[in-house]
Amino acid sequence: MPIARPPRQQRPLRLAVGTGLCMAVSFGLALPVPMLAPVLCAFLLAVVNQPLSWKAGAALTVLVMLTTGVGLLLIPVLQYAPFSGVLVVGLGLFVTFRYGLRGGSNLVATFLAVGLTMIPAAGVFEFSLALEVVSALAKGMLMAVAVLALCHWLFPEAAGAAAPTPAALPALQATWIALRAALVVMPAFLLALTDPAGYTPVLMKAVSLGRQTCTTTARDAGRELLGSTLLGGVLAMLFWCALSLFVHLWMLFLWMLLFALLLARKLYRLSPTRLAPGFWLNTLVTLIILLGQSIQDSAAGKDVYTAFAVRMALFIGITLYAWLMVYWLEGSRWAQAEAPPTAPPPPG
């Protein structure tokens, strides 16, 4: 039977159990791009404090079809008119991030950003790889929704409780912040066009950074962006060392449960800090991406430590670039026409 607890205690448990379960099931079933399901699950559990209704589930299904369809349609554009194709992807990212900033669903915006970049990048390299990414997105979202329902049954939310939603930003301010987020993602997308399999983790990290830059200011950008990336890397190394003591799928679940619970307590302010909730969510996403790719490298017989060092250097590089974009665009006289953005209230 589910145990009734105060909402502030339920939510960290829900996020930790859901992320750990998605991580173990994804690698246990050897899903394509296995770290994608736990990343989507972490985003879903962080922003949705109620189980999805049938209507919301149908809407997510339509969203999956729309995202994958648009991503597949962009493949021939990128192949035969690459400059125009890149501009279309950039415009799509701008519209997606602006939709979230103007009061739309952040979950929808994140999923659209992932689909708009990962599918075309894979399809330009090889169409079968694009179909594999489509399969990974569909299976990852279905698993995240199923885990969301299970976790809400295990750790039910109090009746009438809802996640606070940030107010829609003014049009001009939302435009500049969306432009900034799109510019953060585009270099990683261009890298992924050259080697989708190698740069998929970097692209996922860039989308996470683009989402995070929507809620940070130039004053806090270094601490929020670079700090969360470095902390995620340190935690990934600690996780790998702990997992190496006894390599088993159950241990992957249990260690993920522990690490996610520690971060979720910070995210939901059970252990208060001066850092924004986005810092802790981005740390968790970075941890999942780095650890998941290291597990895949190990299974493929690659040098895990060299690959991790290269990937971490790329993560730091795109984070520094994101920090530069925040300073550059927020310091422009046009962006200053509106007040600087404020971070959204913490989840729960």
> In this predicted structure, which of 105-109, 195-199, 298-302, 329-333 has the lowest mean pLDDT?
329-333
Take residue 58 and report the two structure tokens written for it: 């149908």
pLDDT tens sequence across 66-79: 777 788 888 999 98
Q: Residue 258 pLDDT more than 80?
A: yes
The whole-number average pLDDT for the span 191-208 is: 86
- Arithmetic mean of pLDDT, 113-122: 87
pLDDT band at 333 (very low <50, low <70, confident <90, very high): very low
| Residues contacting 229, CB < 8 A, separation 6+ | 205, 282, 286, 315, 316, 319
CA distance readout (Å), 212 to 36, 222, 291:
18, 12, 20
Residue 137's pLDDT band (boundaries 50, 70, 90)? confident
Largest CA distance in the chain: 58
**pLDDT tier for residue 2 given thresholds of 50, 70 and 90:** low
Per-position b or e across 201-232, b if 16+ CB within 10 A of its CB = bbbbbbbbbbbbbbbbeeebbeebbbbbbbbb
The 10s digit of each residue's pLDDT in 4-15 is 555 567 888 999
User: Could you give the count of Cα atoms lying within 13 Å of 148 in the half-sphere of its Cβ?
Assistant: 25
Q: Residues 165, 95: contact at Cβ < 8 Å?
A: no
User: What pLDDT score was predicted for residue 163?
Assistant: 53
Q: Are 260 and 151 in contact (CB under 8 A)?
A: no
b/e code 94-117 from CB counts within 10 Å (16+ = b): bebbbbbbeeebbbbbbbbbbbbb
What is the pLDDT of the chain when averaged over all its residues?
Answer: 82
Rounded CA-CA distance 247/244 in Å is 6
Q: Return the pLDDT at 94.
A: 92
Cα 106 to Cα 15: distance, rounded to the nearest angstrom? 17
pLDDT class for 309, splitting at 50, 70, 90?
very high
- Per-residue pLDDT tens digits for 210-223: 887 777 766 677 77
User: What is the pLDDT at residue 341?
Assistant: 47
Tell me which residue has tokens 């950008």.
221
Contacts of 191 (CB under 8 A, 6+ apart): 199, 202, 203
Average pLDDT rounded to a whole number, residues 302-321: 90
Q: What is the pLDDT of residues 98-112, one digit of tens each?
A: 888 887 777 778 888
Burial 178-188 (b: 16+ CB within 10 A, else e): bbbbbbbbbbb
Instruction: Give the model's confidence band at 143: pLDDT under 50 very low, under 70 low, under 90 confident, else very high.
Output: confident
**What does pTM read for this prediction?**
0.86
